[in-house]
Amino acid sequence: MKIIEIMNKKVIIIGATSGIGKALAEQYASADYIVGITGRRIELLDQLALSMPQKKFHIKEMDVADISSSRKGLAQLVQEMGGMDIIIINAGVGFPKPNFEKELQTIDINVRGFMSIAQWSYAFFSENGGGKIVGISSVAAVRSSPYAPEYHASKAFVASYLEGLRMRSIKRNNKIEVIEIRPGFVDTAMTKSNKGMFWIATPQKAAKQIIEAINRNIPVAYVTKRYWFLAQFLKLVPDWLIAKLM
So what's the pLDDT on residue 214? 97
User: How would you classify residue 173: left for phi > 0, otherwise alpha for psi between -120 and 50, otherwise beta?
Assistant: left
Indicate the residue type of 96.
P
So what's the pLDDT on residue 187? 84
C-beta atoms surrounding 18 within 10 Å: 16
Domains of the chain: 10-245 (3.40.50.720)
Confidence of residue 193 (pLDDT cuts 50, 70, 90): low
Q: Cα–Cα distance between 148 and 92 in angstroms, integer?
A: 14
Q: Cβ distance 200 to 187 under 8 Å?
A: yes
% of the chain residues with pLDDT over 70: 92
Residue 57: phi and psi, rounded to 5, are -115, 145
- The answer, yes or no, to whether residue 168 has pLDDT greater than 80, is yes
Model pLDDT for residues 76-87, shown as the tens digit of each residue: 999 999 999 999
Confidence of residue 1 (pLDDT cuts 50, 70, 90): very low
Q: Cα–Cα distance between 191 and 24 in angstroms, integer?
A: 18
So what's the pLDDT on residue 45? 96
38 prior amide bond cis, ω within 30:
no
So what's the pLDDT on residue 229? 93
Q: Cα–Cα distance between 30 and 34 in angstroms, integer?
A: 10
Indicate the residue type of 238.
P
Model pLDDT for residues 108-123, shown as the tens digit of each residue: 999 999 999 999 999 9
So what's the pLDDT on residue 195? 56
Q: Cβ distance 40 to 206 under 8 Å?
A: no
C-beta atoms surrounding 149 within 10 Å: 12
So what's the pLDDT on residue 192? 55
Q: Cα–Cα distance between 81 and 61 in angstroms, integer?
A: 15
- The answer, yes or no, to whether residue 236 has pLDDT greater than 70, is yes
Indicate the residue type of 233.
F
